[in-house]
């Protein structure tokens, strides 16, 4: 399978991983680690109800998600030829450490930090399928782009 033909499958697999990890985080930590719109909505709702602790908890994944994106973009710039492989390996390692966190009962905030960073990294791994931009954890934007592309 050529690199161009593997793009749709690669994007699909990563989107499924993103959804699974997001579901796990929502069930275990009460936040999204890939769907930042959900966190900003929940954070805004909590802030509007003057529940600043809950707002802070909802917004906690966002800076770590951004750090993951920055790390992924750095890896792409350093060596574009092997970037997908390196990002995928790094995401797998971080997810492995997050699994160890659950096994050893390390603090929940550490799980949020690890999973958000991994999902930010993963979002930089596949950004286009052919000429179509894709976002692995942002279905609204992808559906909008797809509909506009079809139109």
For residues 5 and 26, what is the distance between their CA atoms, to the nearest angstrom?
33
Query: Given this model, what pLDDT does residue 140 score?
Result: 59
* Residue that the structure tokens 């934007």 belong to: 141
* Segment 30-60, tens digit of pLDDT: 999 988 888 999 999 999 999 999 999 999 9
pLDDT at 15: 83
On whether the CB atoms of residues 91 and 121 are closer than 8 A, the answer is yes
* For range 73-86, the mean pLDDT: 83
pLDDT above 90: percentage of residues in the chain: 48
Q: Cα separation of 95 and 114, whole Å?
A: 7
Quote the CA–CA distance of 14 and 85 in Å, as a whole number: 13
> What is the average pLDDT score of the chain?
85
Predicted TM-score (pTM) of the model is: 0.84
pLDDT digits (tens, 9 = 90+) for 4-40: 567 778 888 888 898 899 999 999 999 999 888 889 9
Asked whether residue 115 carries a pLDDT value surpassing 70, the answer given is yes
């Amino acid at each position: 399978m050529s690199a161009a033909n593997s793009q749709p499958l690669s994007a699909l697999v990563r989107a499924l991983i993103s959804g699974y990890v997001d579901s796990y985080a929502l069930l275990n930590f009460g936040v999204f680690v890939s769907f930042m719109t959900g966190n900003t909505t929940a954070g805004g709702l909590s802030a509007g109800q003057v529940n600043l602790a809950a707002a802070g908890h909802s917004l906690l994944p966002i800076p770590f998600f951004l750090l993951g994106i920055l790390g992924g973009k750095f890896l792409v710039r350093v060596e574009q030829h092997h970037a997908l492989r390196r990002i995928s390996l790094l995401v797998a390692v971080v997810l492995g450490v997050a699994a160890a966190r659950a096994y050893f009962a390390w603090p929940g905030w550490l799980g949020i930090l690890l999973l958000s960073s991994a999902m930010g990294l993963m979002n930089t791994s596949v950004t286009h399928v052919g000429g179509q931009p894709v976002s692995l954890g942002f279905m609204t934007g992808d559906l909008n782009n797809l509909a506009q592309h079809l139109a």
